[in-house]
Amino acid sequence: MNPFIFSTTAQIVYRPGAATAIGDLVKQKLGSRILFVTDPGLRKLGLCDPALASLAASGIETTVFDRVEADPSLATVMAATDAAKADKVSGVIGFGGGSSLDVAKVVALLCGSGEPIDDAWGVGNVKGPRLPLVLVPTTAGTGSEVTPVSIITVGADEKRGISSPVILPDIAVLDPDLTLGLPPHITAATGIDAMVHAIEAYASKSANNNPVSKMFARQALQLLGANIEKAVFDGKDRAARGAMLLGSMLAGQAFANSPVAAVHALAYPIGGTFHIPHGLSNALVLPHVLRFNAPDAASTYAEIAADVFPDLASEQGDQGRCAAFIERLGALSVKLGLQPRLRDVGIGEEHLSGMARDAMKQTRLLVNNPRDVSEADALSIYRAAW
């Protein structure tokens, strides 16, 4: 067994309705004055209201920053940081999808350490400390509540990451009731995103790929595979919603320590340039990247095929099981109502070469891929997805 390091969130609270009692859960950790980071959609829907009421009932003064957008910008991060500093907050709550959680992580860091954000980009460059931090996901997809990564959009479309265990939160609060109202297309896209996290973590070429990550990845795929259709087509199924939220978290723990690879690298230009949601961006290239990887990873994909699709256990041979797994993943996206091709989301064939160039900038991800990817390979994969 190779040496490895496994880092994750210190405390995980899973309980239906937990957000309605969040004040009691976090007051000792966060202090009496906090910044509550969320997005305008959740605020308008009133999804934040029970949590804010609980915080007020616990005597916690709360500043709400509700301007987080999809693919959050550096300007948004700095505006939230300024709000936190102006009110001298003692802790931060991130409440929402991956964008809100990612912003909350960086705000807690910048307020706690005072370090310039330009010194923090990349892997392992954070000095810290950060302010106390609690993350509450409202989607079952990103796993951001247990990952040491924050992705921020800099300029028009460049995505930059901060990766450090310092920005792992103190507490992750998993409340499946918060996901009951998610529309089917968001449920589908975020669910596929979580599957991608688990698949890429399991097959990662990272030197830190380890037995703990592999175990969590397989458990995640079993939960996600068994429940994604129920959650999409019957959004009020609380058991399915809870299983998806737990599966997303386990996949997050897996890829936080055994990092993702070419699916994400090729998805980033789709989201960054064309503003396609991250989960859908992953779904659009997933089967095509796996097909490219299959010559070097067929046995690995064969090991996890039946975790998602139990009937594939009877498929004979690694090559056959791997091929069936890839085909079924593509068919699953279509069945869930996701667009299957790049042209379906408004990407023209003339854009593909530029996307391939941009994908090659994601070196921190591409090094983890089971098979080396050149710019020509990336272009070929995009053409297959188009």
280-316 pLDDT, tens digit each? 999 999 999 999 999 999 999 999 999 999 999 998 8
* pLDDT value of position 273: 87
Q: How far apart are CA 212 and CA 349, in angstroms?
A: 41
Whether residue 2 lies inside any domain: the answer is no
| CATH code for the domain of 60 | 3.40.50.1970
How far are the Cα atoms of 78, 80, 230 from residue 68, in angstroms, in the given order?
11, 9, 29
> Over 90: is that where the pLDDT of 160 sits?
no
* pLDDT value of position 272: 82
304 and 194 part of one domain: yes
Q: What is the pLDDT of residues 366-379, one digit of tens each?
A: 999 999 999 999 99
* pLDDT value of position 2: 87
> Over 90: is that where the pLDDT of 59 sits?
yes
190 and 135 part of one domain: no
Whether residue 217 lies inside any domain: the answer is yes
Of 228, 251, 201, nearest to 370 by C-alpha is 201
Q: How far apart are CA 328 and CA 317, in angstroms?
A: 16
Task: Kindly report whether the global pTM for this prediction surpasses the value 0.75.
Answer: yes
198 and 171 part of one domain: no
Residues in CB range of 338: below 8 A, 6 or more apart: 185, 188, 189, 192, 280, 283
Helix, coil or strand: residue 122: strand
The alpha carbon of residue 306 and the mean position of all alpha carbons in its chain are separated, in whole angstroms, by 23
26 and 158 part of one domain: yes
> Over 80: is that where the pLDDT of 256 sits?
yes
* pLDDT value of position 57: 97
Last residue of a domain, one of 127, 151, 178: 178
Confirm if 241 and 17 have CB atoms less than 8 A apart: no
Confirm if 168 and 146 have CB atoms less than 8 A apart: yes
> Over 80: is that where the pLDDT of 125 sits?
yes
> Over 80: is that where the pLDDT of 16 sits?
yes
Confirm if 174 and 245 have CB atoms less than 8 A apart: yes
163 and 201 part of one domain: no
Of 297, 302, 314, nearest to 371 by C-alpha is 297
Percentage, residues of the chain above pLDDT 90: 93
> Total structural domains in the chain?
2
229 and 171 part of one domain: no
266 and 117 part of one domain: no
Last residue of a domain, one of 129, 160, 178: 178
Between 136 and 153, where is the model more confident? 136
Q: pLDDT band at 81, cuts 50/70/90? A: very high
Q: pLDDT band at 157, cuts 50/70/90? A: confident
Whether residue 4 lies inside any domain: the answer is no
Confirm if 200 and 264 have CB atoms less than 8 A apart: yes
Tell me the pLDDT of the chain averaged across its residues. 96
The alpha carbon of residue 128 and the mean position of all alpha carbons in its chain are separated, in whole angstroms, by 23
Whether residue 1 lies inside any domain: the answer is no
> Over 90: is that where the pLDDT of 43 sits?
yes
Sheet containing 158-163: which strands, arranged edge to edge? 122-123, 158-163, 149-154
Cα atoms found within 13 Å of the Cα of residue 89, Cβ hemisphere only: 34
Supply the range of the domain harboring residue 158: 11-178
Last residue of a domain, one of 154, 178, 202: 178
How far are the Cα atoms of 114, 152, 187, 239 from residue 248, in angstroms, in the given order?
32, 21, 12, 14
Which amino acid is it at 89?
A: V
Q: pLDDT band at 120, cuts 50/70/90? A: very high
Confirm if 259 and 362 have CB atoms less than 8 A apart: no
* pLDDT value of position 54: 98
> Over 90: is that where the pLDDT of 32 sits?
yes
253 and 128 part of one domain: no
Whether residue 92 lies inside any domain: the answer is yes
